[in-house]
Structure 1
Amino acid sequence: MTPPLRIGFIGAGANTRSRHLPGFQEIPGVVLAAVCNRTEESSRKVAQAFGIPVVAPDWRAIIDSPTIDAVCIGTWPNLHAELTIAALRAGKHVLTEARMARDLGEALLMFAEAQRHPQLVAQIVPAPMSLAFDATIVKLINAGVLGSLREVSVMCTNNTQVDSALPSGWRQDPQLSGKNTLALGIYYEMTLRWLGRGVTTLSADAAIFTPQRKNAQGEQQTMTIPERVTVLGRYADAARFLAHFSSVELTAPRNEIRLHGSRAGLRLDFITNQLWLTEAAGPERLVEIMPALGDAWRVEADFIASIREDRPVTLTDFATGVSYMRFTEAVWSSWNEQGRWVTI
């Protein structure tokens, strides 16, 4: 009989409550053992809602507990590196929320620590939007349907920061979010999955239109994380990368990734949640996602399978996390240096 696997939860935000806790509850032999959220009150609410027996006084109590086998980190990025490194050193498997860290330096420290403990599972929650389409996109690319890749085009715009009177959130706080900018990392991660490679050089331009905002406590803060950013990049094989992200557009939102090849193009529309294919000069047609290839959210099941069955982590391993953090860091460096081309 498989021994129970006991998980401690540090941070219990929306994604942990809606995804991780219910997901782990469904797996036989997995025990939700302890929780520590930002306040004791919020910890108790989560514990009561999910039948968790222990409310830990602080995160160290979870990591130091000899009865806990794995840690699920659901905090903001500012704690990901510290908690991950401490958990691995304590002999615990780690599932951490994305983004991997605040910056590349922290991500590299996490990766190095995971390399020192190859017997432990170290996994990052994957970008979820394309999960149902990933296998189909990779299959089409590998079958040569697109021909040679010419350009990757990413577009993600909305109006979430148009109102200058709105208070800043944690994503606009560099102490909490670091150099993570808008949805840069999460969209780049999806392209890494499909292509198996990233850009080798890039240039970025960014802007902050509301230089100061009040935070949740009513204190005026200077904004340092862009409200819009555009990235031009090049792959080693001469294919191009183009991405535009904005939170200050008043027009209808745009949310898609396009892959342009010499024979055909793919367009993944995240607004309608549909994948489209255009071959040669023909009309755009909907790509049917076969059920066997459309397996979507399996994060918790995959994490447990990696622990119990020694399966390699694919969605998402720390090496991939370092890759998207390296991209994010390069974009940050470029726009802060007037669009200087940065080699990754």
Structure 2
Amino acid sequence: MDIRIGIIGAGENTRLKHIPLLQKIEGVQIVAISNRSMASAQKVCDQFNIANAYDDWQKIIHDPTIDAVLIGTWPNMHKLLTCEALKAGKHVLCEARMARDLAEAREMLDESHLRPSQIAQIVPAPFTLKYDTEIIKLIGNNFFGDILAVNGRFNFNTFLDADAPMHWRENRDISGNNIMLMGILYESMSRWLGPAKSVIASGKIFSSLKDYNGKARPVDIPEHLNILAQVDNGVEAHLQFSSVTALEDCPQSIWIFGSNGTAHLDLKNDQLLLGKKGDTELQLHNFTPPADAIWRVEEEFINAIRGTEKINLTDFDTAFQYMKFTEAVTLSLQEDKRIHLSNLGTLL
């Protein structure tokens, strides 16, 4: 089964990952690129030998010869493009984060449920793919005993630079309620422990204004964020995300503390360390990850279209759950109180 793909938004991840990996799959042809300008679309087409360059995304979505659409834009376009592509009969692979907020994510999810024969996938959080199966196995084998607490940090390990231009992730019009790497860490953690029940969040903004395309814009997305989350099984998780915690020794790491065992996933040094009750220090845990514990988003998407595999990472229903978490964090910041995720359905 040959599959023809059109791409809307050719950012870094699309150029480094999606395009070359899709082009390696037999029977897959990328036939068109749409970007913010014709010049940038043509540049990508020239680089990867793709036939058609557009500056109008509708030419891709409404091309009857295109089977699937890859959406590589910023989150502000995800809801519009996803819903339009699904309505046009296309399969959709959408870059993370799913949307700007829960309401947009709900529209995407509902549209996908109306068309169950069409594949709808969100690019998954990638940083823990190597370790997910092993951590789930450790939990299942009762290595930890009762899991009591989780500490996670996904920090940028930088000093505050209030004079730096505003990154698109700091622009709420573009990024919405997504804050730094919050969604990535939560998506990974929920694979092991299940969804959060409630959150209470505290955030700090240090920069009042930043330049965005020549205009001063107020900064209204936290530059330092702490979250206390109660997970479904009673575990309390303390999660931190920051762009001001420079010179940390382990800026991206996750600790799992149990009654009988501790694990430290050190993403900076790409290692998992374990210790049991009675040990005096952690030891490097050597294991062989499953063969599929790698980045294989594009292969999974194509296999799902061909009916040989189901979407595991990440279907729309799973992505909607991390958008509930994102929404709850935003509401907690706004209302200065604990937010229960079970109550969010009443807001839509």
Q: 2:207 aligns with which of 210, 225, 228?
A: 210
Say which of 4, 8, 22 aligns to 2:20. 22
Q: CA deviation at 1:218?
A: 2.3
Equivalent position of 1:110 in the other structure? 108
Deviation track 1:92-138 (CA, whole Å, cap 9, x = no partner) reads 10000000000111011101111011001100101111111111111
User: Aligned partners of 1:305, 1:123: CA distance in 2, in Å?
Assistant: 12
CA distance in 1, matches of 2:7, 2:119: 16
Q: CA deviation at 1:159?
A: 4.5
Distance 1:205 1:291 in 2: 36
How many Å separate the matches in 1 of 2:199 and 2:118? 35
Say how many residue pairs are matched: 339
Matched, 1:167 2:165: yes
**1:280 counterpart = 2:294:** no
Candidates 124, 138, 151, aligned match of 1:153: 151
Map of 1:135 onto structure 2: 133
Kindly provide the amino acid, as one letter, of the partner of residue 149 in structure 2: E
Which has the higher mean CA deviation after the structures are superposed, 292-301 or 134-143? 292-301
1:247 has 2:243 as partner: yes
Q: 2:33 aligns with which of 16, 32, 35?
A: 35
With normalisation by structure 1, the TM-score equals 0.95
In the alignment, structure 2 segments of 5+ residues that lack a partner are 342-348
Report the equivalent of 1:331: 329
Q: Provide the C-alpha distance between the structure 1 equivalents of 2:44 and 2:21, rounded to a whole number of angstroms.
A: 15
Q: Is the 8 A contact 1:133 1:289 kept in 2?
A: no
Inter-partner Cα distance in structure 2 for 1:117 and 1:325: 21
Deviations 1:50-79 (A, max 9, x none): 111111241111000000000000000000
Q: Which range moved further: 22-31 or 128-137? A: 128-137
Is the Cα contact below 8 Å between 1:208 and 1:224 reproduced in 2?
A: yes
Q: Which moved more, 1:225-234 or 1:149-158?
A: 149-158
Q: Does 1:268 align with 2:265?
A: yes
Aligned-partner SS, 1:117 = coil
- When residues 58 and 328 of structure 1 are mapped into structure 2, their CA distance, relative to the original with a 3 A threshold, is same
- Aligned-residue offset at 1:233: 1.5
Contact (CA 8 Å) 2:154, 2:182: kept in 1 or not? no
Give yes or no for contact 2:35–2:55 (8 Å, CA) kept in 1.
no
Q: Counterpart of 1:7 in 2: which secondary structure? A: strand
Letter paired with 1:109: E
What residue ranges of structure 1 are gaps of 5+ in the alignment? none
Whether the aligned pair in 2 keeps the contact of 1:133 and 1:294 (CA below 8 Å) is no
Mapped contact 2:168–2:174 kept (Cα < 8 A): yes
Distance 1:314 1:206 in 2: 32
Give the SS at the match of 2:130.
coil
- Check whether the contact 1:158–1:252 (CA below 8 A) recurs between aligned residues: no
Distance 2:233 2:307 in 1: 37
**Equivalences for residues 35-54 of structure 1 within 5 A:** 35-54=33-52
Q: Is the 8 A contact 1:135 1:293 kept in 2?
A: no
Identity %: 41
In the alignment, the residues of structure 2 paired with residue 334 and residue 219 of structure 1 have an alpha-carbon distance, to the nearest angstrom, of 30
**Amino acid aligned to 2:332:** S
CA contact (8 A) 1:206 1:227 kept: yes
